[in-house]
Amino acid sequence: MIQINSIYKSFEERTVLNDISFTFENGKTNLIIGQSGSGKTVLMKCLVGLLTPEKGEVLYDGRNLINMGKKEKKALRREMGMIFQSAALFDSLSVLENVMFPLDMFSNQTYRERVKRAQFCLDRVNLIDAQKKYPGEISGGMQKRVAIARAIALQPQYLFCDEPNSGLDPKTSLVIDELIHDITTEYNMTTVINTHDMNSVLGIGDSILYIYQGHKEWEGNKDEVFSATNEKLNNFIFASDLLKKVKKEETKAER
C-alpha cells in the first residue's frame, strides 16, 4: 500500500500539485487520470522518487520515501517495477535478455536461475516462444508484454505503469489491461497506472484518482463513474459522443 498525504509540488512559482492525499491499495489497479497538464505525471514521478515534493508524505507501507537516505531509497527501488510508455526495451538484446536485465543488475542468482526466472515471466505473459527474438522482430503489443515480464522479474511489491496502452490498438490495449490486472491480483501488488485510456478506466479502474489542475477533484472506482455527479469528471470521462451515449443508456437502466 502507498499513501500520499497532503502532497505539494511546485516549479518556480507555479503550483503543480496542491494538497493531494490518496491511498493506492494492495491487489488493486489504482489509476491516476486527468487532462494533459493536470499534474498526474508529476505525481507519478513523486511516487517513485524522481521528484521530491515541497510538503507532504509518500508512505510505502508506513515508510516515508521523502525522509529516506540513499541506501534506504536504493533498497526500496528494488521493490518497484516500472512499465514505461514506450516499453523501453534494448534493441540489441533478445527478448529473454531484456527480461533478464534487472536480474543481471540486482539479483545474486546464478545464470541458470536468472534464465529460469526470466522464462517463467515470459511464460506468464504468453511470450515464451518469442524469447530468442529481438524487439524489432515483434509487434508493439508484444513489446509491452515483454516490458511487463521485465517489470515483474524481481517480484516487485509495487508496480508503476506510465500510459501502458499508448500506441496500441483497442483490442491489444484490452489484452494489456487484463494482463496487468491479473498480475496485480495474483501477486497482491500495489499497481499505479497513469492513463488517458477511458477503456482502462471503465475496465480495470479498481481505484481511481482524478486530478484537475493540480487538485484531487474526485476519487472512486469504475462502478461509481457512471453515477458520479462531479461535472469536471463527467466532462473528462464522457468527452466523446460514444461515451456520452453509454452514460445516457446506463442512467436509463438505473431508472
Q: What is the pLDDT of residue 252?
A: 62
- Cell 506510465, located at residue: 162
**Percentage of the chain modeled with pLDDT above 90:** 68
Asked if 12 and 52 sit in the same domain, the reply is yes
pLDDT top residue among 88 and 32:
32
| The pLDDT of residue 251 is above 90 | no
The per-residue pLDDT for range 14-61, each reduced to its tens digit, is: 899 999 999 999 999 999 999 888 899 999 999 999 999 999 999 999
Domain that holds residue 125: 89-155
Structure confidence at residue 254 (pLDDT): 58
146, 106: one domain = yes
pLDDT at 4 over 90: yes
Domain end position, chosen among 155, 170, 195: 155
Please report whether residue 84 resides in a domain. no
- CATH number reported for the structural domain that contains residue 190 in this entry: 3.40.50.300
Regarding whether 162 and 61 lie in a shared domain, the answer is yes
Non-local (6+) Cβ contacts of 151 within 8 A are 81, 82, 83, 159
Mean pLDDT, rounded, for 64-74: 91
The pLDDT value recorded for residue 150 is: 94
Q: Are residues 105 and 143 in the same domain?
A: yes
**How many structural domains are present in the chain?**
2
Q: Is the pLDDT of residue 253 over 80?
A: no
- Over residues 139-151, the pLDDT tens digits come to 989 999 999 999 9
Total residue length of the chain: 255
Q: What integer pLDDT is reported at residue 45 of this predicted model?
A: 92
- Domain boundary, last residue among 155, 184, 210: 155
Between helices 140-151 and 111-124, what is the axis angle to 10°?
130
